[in-house]
Structure formats: C-alpha cells, structure tokens
Structure 1
Amino acid sequence: MISGIGLDIVELDRIAKLEEKSGKFAARVLTHSETAIYRSLSGHRRTEFLAGRFAGKEAFSKARGTGIGADCNFTDIEIIPEPSGKPRLYFKGSTVSGFISITHTKKIAAAQVILEA
C-alpha cells in the first residue's frame, strides 16, 4: 500500500551557485558516503549528482509529510546506488520501504519518491 508520494524539481544552475558561493552546500546536504561519491565526480556530473540528491531528499521529506526540519534533515536521508546503479533510500540508517527515481536534463534535476506502508 502506498503511504506517501513526493516530487521535487530543482534547477542545476541554482545548485551550482549555492555550492560555489560558500562550498558548504554539499556538506549540508550530503552524508559521508554520498560525499565520497560526489568528490569522485567532476564538472557537470558533480552538479547533477548534488542536485539529484537534493531533489531526492526533498521528495522523500514530502512523501513522509514532514518536509525538511528537525525530525527529518538532509543528512538523515541517504541515497546510495546499488551495484546496478539503482538508487536506494535510507532514513536514519535504515532501508526505506519504497522507491526513488532521479532524472536530469541539461538544466534541471527531478526526483520522485513513493513510500510503502
């Protein structure tokens, strides 16, 4: 049974500017494991990754019905690819029962999360 659906879309330029401005945006959004992946990337792919994780975490928080805040912050949520490349969602270290899809164009990243009860 579906218990929540969340969707988020973000402009890649916006994410790139936030990261360029202080260099702290990625640290605020990404977990240690995600940061390792992020640092292994370069150029546009790095921005896509950060924007995709941001959108995915926003979509997850919307599907939970809480939004990002004290009970659900960015680093509580982790999106790690399985060996096949399929993204897997974790919340506070536990696997989430549900699905996430992340997509990109040249200008935007979007994510959808469907949670199961």
Structure 2
Amino acid sequence: MIQGIGLDIVELDRVARLDGRNAKFRERILSARELHIYEQLKDHRKTEYLAGRFAAKEAFSKARGTGIGTDCSFLDIEVLSEASGQPVLYFKEQIANGFVSITHTQTVAAAQVILLNS
C-alpha cells in the first residue's frame, strides 16, 4: 500500500547560481557519497545531478509528509544509483521502501517519489 507520494521540480539556472556562489550549498544537499560522484562529473552534468538530487530529496520529504526539517534533513536522504543506473533511495543509511524517478530538461530537473508501507 502507498504511504505517500511526493513531487518536486527545480530550475537548473537557480541551482547553478546557488552552487556557483558557494560550495556550502552542495555540501548542505549532497551526502559524502553523492558529493564524491558530483565531483567526478563535467560542468553542466554537475548542475543536473545536484538539481536532480535536490528535487528527489524534496519529493521524498513530501512523500513522508514531513518536509525538510529536523526529522528529515537533506543529508538524511541519499539517492544512489545501482549499476543499471536505477536510482535508489536511502533514509538515515537504510534503504527506503519506495521508488524514485528523476528527469531533466534543458531548464529544469524534476523528481517523483512513491513510498510504500513497510
């Protein structure tokens, strides 16, 4: 049974501006493992990756019904890819019971999360 559904969309230009001003932005959003992947990417792909993870984490927090805050921070949530490329959600280092889909256009990144009851 579905516990919750979350959806988020973010403009790539906005994320690029925030990231370009200060590395602290990406450090507030990405876990150490995600940051390692981010650092290996090329210019525009970095923005897509960061924006996609931002949208996925916002969508996850909406699906939980909590939003981002003390009980669910950006760093509590990880979105890592399997060898096939499929993104997998982790919450507080435990695999989350649900699904995430991330997409990009030339101007936006969007993500949808569906969480299932345990």
- Residue 101 of structure 2 aligns to a residue whose secondary structure is strand
- How many residue pairs match? The answer is 117
Find the counterpart in structure 1 of residue 95 from structure 2: 95
- Residue 9 of structure 1 aligns to a residue whose secondary structure is strand
TM-score between both structures, scaled by the size of structure 2: 0.98
Question: Following TM superposition, by how much is the alpha carbon of 1:7 offset from its aligned partner in structure 2, in angstroms?
Answer: 0.1
Question: Following TM superposition, by how much is the alpha carbon of 1:27 offset from its aligned partner in structure 2, in angstroms?
Answer: 0.3
Q: Which runs of 5+ in 1 are unaligned?
A: none
- Residue 109 of structure 1 aligns to a residue whose secondary structure is strand
d(CA) in 2 for partners of 1:95, 1:51: 21
d(CA) in 1 for partners of 2:87, 2:99: 8
**Aligned-residue CA RMSD (Å):** 0.4
Q: Which runs of 5+ in 2 are unaligned?
A: none
d(CA) in 2 for partners of 1:9, 1:29: 15
Letter in 2 for 1:79: V
Find the counterpart in structure 2 of residue 78 from structure 1: 78
Find the counterpart in structure 2 of residue 67 from structure 1: 67
Find the counterpart in structure 1 of residue 33 from structure 2: 33
> What stretches of structure 1 move > 6 A for 4+ residues in a row?
none
Letter in 1 for 2:17: K
TM-score between both structures, scaled by the size of structure 1: 0.99
- Residue 14 of structure 2 aligns to a residue whose secondary structure is helix
Matches within 5 A, 1:42-57: 42-57=42-57
Letter in 1 for 2:35: T
d(CA) in 1 for partners of 2:23, 2:77: 20
d(CA) in 2 for partners of 1:33, 1:23: 16
User: What percent of counterpart residues are identical?
Assistant: 63
